[in-house]
Structure 1
Amino acid sequence: MSVLVWVEHDGKAVKDATLAAVTAAARLGEVEALVAGQGVDGVAQEAAKIAGVTKVLVADDASLGHALAENVAPLVVELMGSRDAFVAPATTTGKNIAPRVAALLDVMQISEVLSVESADTFTRPIYAGNAIATVQSKDGKKVLTIRGTAFEKAAAEGGSAAIEQVSAKGDQGLSSFEGSEIAQNARPELTSAKIIVSGGRALGSEEQFHQLIDPLADALGAGVGASRAAVDAGYAPNDYQVGQTGKIVAPEVYVAVGISGAIQHLAGMKDSKTIIAINKDEDAPIFQVADLGLVGDLFKVVPELTEKLAV
């Protein structure tokens, strides 16, 4: 079985989400990686070193510079003529490209795959992760998005894949890139952070969110996250959001401060290795999934904890 993996990158380096996708794809068959973009020779060289990748296909064209799904999907469909499955990380970009590929191939997409049971059978979460569905696809070609937290990352070094140039399909004229506002964050990115400190609506304001959460995160060398309620209230930017409608994370340690534990939030972090919850409500749902729970006033507890960690 031949599998084509979409390489998630920022134009300079391969993102970690790709490594998990390669692991999943390798359970289906021979893995080829697609690097699409503009000026991506360095990315292609890096992708060729990923363990398990046998070939890297490079499409270098201005029309692919911003990974517009309308331009990427026709390229993928053309390459799928001799391949059996297309695998993309379940990231914002992957979720944008995969449905268009599936539609053009006239097959169903299987989203957020948690495990590969066989060449045509997979598991995926439903009901915000409260149930796991086993899905069997009879389609001749498979289109999958992979939940990165469910698979080990393939080794970034050790491979020696051949690199082959392929032609882009050009600008389809269906969409155009107008601009971007990229959030600058000196802390670890949420999906790759080993420790995450997240704050909830109980923090009360944007000022108090940053006064309490940021120092604790800095003391732990952690990334900063937030619940949907905190983001909706304006305490934190959208890219901080953890949950079903935000980022899915599974760090070594997840610290939930003032987060009650709504289902949609739990769906984004319950696979964390160790969950620590700080909340004044001892009946908060977050304590049902927490490994360690501290019932107390976060405005007293968090500064004390930060002070002890900083010593």
Structure 2
Amino acid sequence: MSNISIISEKCVGCKSCMRQCPYGAISMKDKKAEIGENCTLCGACVEACKFGAILMEKDSNNWQQSGDNYSGICVLAEQFNGHIKAVTYELLAKAGELALSLKTKVSVILLGYNVKDNAKALIAHGANEVLAVDNIMLKDLNEEIYPELITQIIKQYKPEILLIGATAFGRSIAPRIASALNTGLTADCTKLEIDSKTGLLFQTRPAFGGNLMATIACPLRRPQMATVRPKVLKAAEADSSREGRIIYPEVSFPKNIKLRILETVLSDSQKINVADADIVVAAGMGMGNIKNMKLVDELAEVLGGAVGATRAIVDLGWAEYSQQVGQTGKTVAPKIYIACGISGAIQHLAGIASSAYVIAINKDKDAPIFKSANVGIVGDCLEILPELVKSLKKIKESKVKIGA
């Protein structure tokens, strides 16, 4: 076990270590520093002490100190009803870039039922090898079974880096896997890069409600784990000529499983995922009240798109969290993004930066959203949306008549 101690003869009671400790784990007694039980062995005090009075001993038998036995980049493939989620292909493209820097291979962990075709698709998108477990028990995304099997595979194949999509399922199982592997986890990343000096994975994510961006590294533990937001990375085109291996690792399914999935029921907002939609109609505080949200729903329905919302709308309970767009919600990249009554806070704009075409409707002509929009309409959404829906329905009806 790692340990930290104070060399009493060298300590002068300057309190530099106390001020530097982010956990308040150091106190002074008889003008000497003392380490409390809430110490996390972060090492901040060691760097702060100018007198060499703090000694930190690391367990030399812990493989995680060097990671010499760990290599390769691994992506966890997420599938639902037999379909690979788009974020998996986005992660594969980034994994390929990182692998070039580290001169290593890219593996994918694929759990599911009847997964052979999916495994071939993953190879076409950049995987060198697919570590597949094909079993009827994996048909549903069971949050008790999946982390256990993934942990077993990681221990067998020892990847240096593990990337998981920051979806609802990924966010749920990633902490369980990290805990089982006794390693760190950076959640909800928006940027990944390899540090040229150390070879460490630098993981960047929003912090303090999206007001700051933090870059985090995991120097002592392996694998280095990160969950990554969908749509912040771009997937590579599939290449059917690529060759790779499909490996079926030996795993032991957990016994006495307490969680059993009887039925999966999708809410209306989940039927068209806002992160995957080509058209997103999003609501902001300019919609006035929850009753007016039906105007956004109607426009999304006639366009065949998904309904999005700002954080303020979700906090009020007018929309579900799964619909939230922005730095603390989902990142979207639709062909058309229609912002209805959205002022355009920087946190929201960060979530729509990859949108191909932005249409903004707002009665405030100075709203920041107009600076990011391709088309701006100054006016009241409550008046404009009904007319827009009416016009679109007429266009659809006329096309049907012509076709008939």
Q: Which TM-score band (shorter chain)?
A: 0.7 to 0.9
| Residues 314, 320 of structure 2: 8 Å contact kept | yes
CA-based RMSD: 3.1
| Structure 1 stretches lacking a partner, 5+ long | none
Distance 2:386 2:343 in 1: 20
Distance 1:300 1:115 in 2: 40
Distance 1:108 1:238 in 2: 26
Question: 131-140 or 294-303, which moves further after superposition?
Answer: 131-140
> 2:168 matched to which residue of 1?
92
| Residues 244, 264 of structure 1: 8 Å contact kept | yes
> 1:74 matched to which residue of 2?
148
2:224 counterpart of 1:142: yes
Distance 2:269 2:210 in 1: 29
Query: Cα–Cα, structure 1 residues 113 and 186, in superposed 2: closer, same or farther, change >3 Å?
Result: closer
- What is the CA-CA distance between 1:266 and the residue it aligns to? 4.3
Query: Cα–Cα, structure 1 residues 214 and 236, in superposed 2: closer, same or farther, change >3 Å?
Result: same
2:204 counterpart of 1:123: yes
Question: 14-23 or 128-137, which moves further after superposition?
Answer: 128-137
Distance 1:296 1:47 in 2: 47
The aligned runs of 1:277-296 (5 Å cut-off) are 277-282=360-365, 284=367, 286-287=369-370, 289-296=372-379
Distance 2:270 2:172 in 1: 27
Distance 1:182 1:53 in 2: 31
> 2:187 matched to which residue of 1?
111
Query: Cα–Cα, structure 1 residues 188 and 182, in superposed 2: closer, same or farther, change >3 Å?
Result: closer
| Residues 11, 43 of structure 1: 8 Å contact kept | no
Distance 1:266 1:21 in 2: 22
| Residues 196, 251 of structure 1: 8 Å contact kept | yes
Distance 1:68 1:136 in 2: 30
- What is the CA-CA distance between 1:108 and the residue it aligns to? 1.1
Distance 1:262 1:79 in 2: 42
2:287 counterpart of 1:203: yes
| Structure 2 stretches lacking a partner, 5+ long | 1-70, 100-104, 396-404
2:383 counterpart of 1:300: yes
Distance 1:197 1:165 in 2: 43
70, 93, 99: which is aligned to 1:23?
A: 93
Distance 1:130 1:259 in 2: 19
Please report the TM-score for the alignment, with normalisation by the length of structure 2.
Answer: 0.66
Cα shift readout 1:163-196 (whole Å, capped 9, x = no counterpart): 2212333135464034432135797532122321
Distance 2:137 2:113 in 1: 8
Distance 1:116 1:244 in 2: 16
2:330 counterpart of 1:225: no
The aligned runs of 1:34-45 (5 Å cut-off) are 34-45=109-120
Question: 161-170 or 263-272, which moves further after superposition?
Answer: 263-272
Q: Partner letter of residue 229 of structure 2?
A: R
Cα shift readout 1:42-72 (whole Å, capped 9, x = no counterpart): 433433432x111111112354333333322
Question: 297-306 or 216-225, which moves further after superposition?
Answer: 216-225
- Please give the secondary structure, in 1, of the residue aligned with 2:111: strand
Q: Which has the higher relative contact order, 1 or 2, with Cα contacts under 8 A spaced 6 or more apart?
A: 1
Please report the TM-score for the alignment, with normalisation by the length of structure 1.
Answer: 0.83
Distance 1:246 1:172 in 2: 36
Cα shift readout 1:228-256 (whole Å, capped 9, x = no counterpart): 44455565455433345543212233211
2:135 counterpart of 1:65: no
2:92 counterpart of 1:32: no
